[in-house]
Structure 1
Amino acid sequence: METSQPILSVVVPMYDEEDVLPIFFARMRPLLDGLGVSYEVLVVDDGSRDATAALLTEATRQWRQLRLVRLLRNSGHQAALSAGFRRARGEYLVTIDADLQDPPEVIADLLSAARDKDVDVVYGVRSDRSSDTWAKRTTARMYYRLMCRLVGKDIPFDAGDFRLVSRRVVDAVNALPEDGRVFRLVIPWLGFPSAEVSYVRAERAAGVTKYNVSKMLRLAFDSVTAFSAAPLRLATWLGLLGGLLSVVFVIGALVTKLTGQSIPGWTSTVLAVAVIGAIQLLCLGLLGEYVARLFQSSQKRPQFLVGYDSLEDPGHHSYAEVTEPRDPEHR
C-alpha cells in the first residue's frame, strides 16, 4: 500500500459481501488503473460475518492500492462511511456501495465534472431506477419528497450515497460534532458548490441486499429527527386537535343529556377514548425519538471502533477513534 497522499480515495462500506467481491475486483481495478491518477480503494468492513474480511485481506497482497479498514463490530452503513471519511487520504473522495448498482464507470465522470466545473461536490443522480422493485422506487420517491419539504430544496432528488467530494468537504464533515449523521443530508446542507452526473441504476451484481425495510425506515426517522423539528410541531398540532375533539364530544354529550335523548351505550365513549388515546400515543412516540437522540448524545459513545487498518502495521489495532455516539442505524 502506498503511503503518499493519493489524488482519489474510493470509500466502499461492506457487510457480508463475499459473493460480489470477485465481480467488484474485476470491474473496479482496471477502471481505476485507467484513470491516470494515483488512488486508494478504502474498503470499510462493517463487522462482516462471512468470508468478506478474509477475501479482502488476501486481495490487499495482490492489489497495492487496496486498503482494508475493519470495524470491531457492525455499526451501520452511515458509521462505516464516517470511518471512511476519517481515514481517507485523497484530494477527492468517492463513496460507492459494493453491490455495483451504482456503476463504478461513472467515477471517471464524477472526477471530470469536479475538475471541469471547479466544484466541491458531484452527486451521482439516478435517472433510471427500473432495476429496483416498485416498492423500493415508491418509498424512495416518498423519502426524497419528504426531505425536500423538511430540509430544503438543496437536497438532490434521487441521489443516494454515490458522490464525489473534495478534501475541503471531507474536512468540514469530519469537523462536525453531529451525532449519527446522514450523509445524503449533511453534505447538501454544508452548501459547497456542486454539480450532478446522471446514470442508470443497475441490478445488484451478486448476493442479496442487507438494507431491508426496517433499516430504510430507521434511516428515514434519523433523517427527519436529525434535520427538522417538524415532528415536534406536528405533535403540538395533534394535541390541539385532540383538545378540540374533546370539546366537541363534551358539547355533544351535554346537548344529548339536556334534550333527554341520551341513550345508555358505550360507542361514543369508546370512540372518544380511541381518538384521544391514539393522538397521545403518537405524540409520545415522536417525543421519544428526540429524547432517544439526546440520550445517545449524552452517552458520548464512539460511533465506531477501528480494529485494523492495512495501511498501518498489521499488528497494530487502533481502538481510539471518533467521539461520536453510536449510529442508531444497524445493518
Structure 2
Amino acid sequence: MSAPAAPLLSVVIPIYNEQDALPLTVQRLRPILDGIGETYEVVGVDDGSTDDTAAVLTLLQSRWPQLRVVRLRRNSGHQAALTAGLHRALGQYVVSIDADLQDPPEKIVEMLALAREGYDIVQGVRDDRSSDTFFKRSTAGAYYSLMHRLVGREIPKHAGDYRLLSRAAVDALTSLPEAQPVYRLLVPWLGFRSTSVTFQREERVAGSTKYPLSKMVRLAVDSITNFSAAPLRLATWMGLGSFVLAFFLGVYTAIEQVRGVTVPGWSSLFVAVVFFGAVQLVCVGLLGEYVGRIYSAVQGRPAYFIGSDSADLADVVEVPAVTVSVPAQVG
C-alpha cells in the first residue's frame, strides 16, 4: 500500500507542561487551519512533560485526526523539541509556533499567502511587546542589539521562533550538523528569500512561562558562542589591556621609588591581584565554553530521543487516564 500524500502545511508546536493551555490553543488553531482549505498536519512535540500534557494530547488527538503527537523520552529543551518537529514534519510548508498563544495563529494564513508568492521564509516579528514585563522587554532588546553587533544586521529584531519555512528551507536546516541550534539566528543565516509579518505579542493564555531567566541566559550564551568568536577576541583584548595597565603601574611605582616617596602598597596590590585574577578567570572561562562545545560536537550525542510518534503505527504508548476540561469546539 502506498504511503499517504504529504500535506501542504505542517504546524510544529514544541510543548512542555502545557496541560492548561493546550485545549485553548487547539480551540483557536483548528478553525484557522480548517478554513485554509488545504491538507495539513499539526505536530505536537511533547518535550518530556511532567504534568498531564501527555494525557491531554491523547484526548485532543482522538477528536482531531490531523494532530500528530511526538513524544521525547526526556526533557531536552525548546530548541531540541523544535528540531524534532522539523525533522518529523512532512508538509511542503512548515510553521513553528509555541503553545501559549502569545504568537497569534491567525497570522498563519498571511504567512502561507506570502510563501505562495515565492518566499521561503516568512518570519513573525513582534512589533508590540506591551504584554511583556519591563524586564522581559529590556532583556529582549539587549539580546537582539547584541546579536546585531556580533552576528549581523540580517537578524530581524524581536523575531522569535514563530515562522513559516518552505520545504527547501526545512531540508537545509535539518541537514546542518548543529548540536545546539538557535533557529532565530540559523534561519536568517541560510540566505533564503525571506519576508516578515508583524503582530502584537499577547499575554500567555494559561500556565506559567517556560523560559525563566536561567534559560534566557543560556539562550544568549548559545547564540553568542554558536555564531561568533568575538568573546575569544575580547579575552585577547582584555589580556592586552591588562598588560598595558600593569606596565604603566610598574613605571609609576619605579618613578615614585626613585623620588623616595613611599607608595602605599597594600590596597593597590590587593586591587591589582584581584583585577588580574578576574581577567584570567574570565579568559579561561571563555576558552572553556568553546572547548566544551568542541567536546560536545566530538561526542556526537543526539540532542533528543524520540519516544513515540503517533504517525508510526508500531508506536503505541499507554497514557494514564485523566479528567480534562476540553472546549466543545475542539471535537
Shared fold (TM-score greater than 0.5)? yes
Rounded Cα–Cα distance in structure 1 between residues aligned with 2:265 and 2:122: 64
SS at match of 2:71: strand
Partner of 1:87: 88
- Per-residue CA distance 1:120-148 (angstroms, 9 max, x = gap): 00000111000000111111111111111
Partner of 1:204: 204
Q: State whether structure 2 residue 213 is matched by structure 1 residue 213.
A: yes
Partner of 1:131: 131
**In the alignment, is the contact (CA less than 8 A) between 1:3 and 1:311 conserved in 2?**
no
Partner of 2:240: 240
SS at match of 1:104: coil
State the Cα distance separating 1:263 from its structure 2 match: 4.0
Residue identity in the other structure for 1:175:
S
Rounded Cα–Cα distance in structure 2 between residues aligned with 1:302 and 1:269: 49
- Per-residue CA distance 1:28-87 (angstroms, 9 max, x = gap): 111111111110000000000000011101211111000000000000010001101110
Rounded Cα–Cα distance in structure 1 between residues aligned with 2:265 and 2:11: 68
Partner of 2:162: 162
Rounded Cα–Cα distance in structure 2 between residues aligned with 1:181 and 1:160: 13
Cα RMSD (Å): 1.3
Report % sequence identity.
Answer: 55
Residue identity in the other structure for 1:71:
L
SS at match of 1:5: coil
State the Cα distance separating 1:314 from its structure 2 match: 4.9
**In the alignment, is the contact (CA less than 8 A) between 2:123 and 2:195 conserved in 1?**
yes
State the Cα distance separating 1:286 from its structure 2 match: 1.1
Partner of 2:77: 76
Rounded Cα–Cα distance in structure 1 between residues aligned with 2:264 and 2:243: 24
**In the alignment, is the contact (CA less than 8 A) between 2:310 and 2:316 conserved in 1?**
no
State the Cα distance separating 1:236 from its structure 2 match: 0.3
Partner of 2:328: none
Rounded Cα–Cα distance in structure 1 between residues aligned with 2:176 and 2:300: 15
Report the TM-score when normalising by structure 1: 0.93
Partner of 1:280: 280
The 1:264/1:191 distance shift into structure 2, 3 A limit, reads closer
Report the TM-score when normalising by structure 2: 0.93
- Per-residue CA distance 1:265-311 (angstroms, 9 max, x = gap): 40110121122111111111111110111111111111110000000
**In the alignment, is the contact (CA less than 8 A) between 1:69 and 1:310 conserved in 2?**
yes
SS at match of 2:197: strand
Residue identity in the other structure for 2:36:
L
Rounded Cα–Cα distance in structure 1 between residues aligned with 2:160 and 2:205: 18
Unaligned runs of 5+ in 1: 318-331
**In the alignment, is the contact (CA less than 8 A) between 2:71 and 2:307 conserved in 1?**
yes
**In the alignment, is the contact (CA less than 8 A) between 1:14 and 1:46 conserved in 2?**
yes
Q: State whether structure 2 residue 4 is matched by structure 1 residue 10.
A: no
Partner of 2:301: 301
**In the alignment, is the contact (CA less than 8 A) between 1:20 and 1:98 conserved in 2?**
yes
Residue identity in the other structure for 1:162:
Y
SS at match of 1:283: helix
Residue identity in the other structure for 1:92:
Y
Q: Which runs of 4+ in 1 moved over 3 A?
A: 314-317
Rounded Cα–Cα distance in structure 2 between residues aligned with 1:57 and 1:93: 22
State the Cα distance separating 1:316 from its structure 2 match: 5.8
SS at match of 2:116: helix
**In the alignment, is the contact (CA less than 8 A) between 1:249 and 1:272 conserved in 2?**
no
Deviates more, 1:43-52 or 1:19-28: 19-28
**In the alignment, is the contact (CA less than 8 A) between 1:35 and 1:108 conserved in 2?**
yes
Partner of 2:323: none
Rounded Cα–Cα distance in structure 1 between residues aligned with 2:264 and 2:165: 69
Partner of 1:98: 99
State the Cα distance separating 1:222 from its structure 2 match: 0.3
State the Cα distance separating 1:264 from its structure 2 match: 5.0
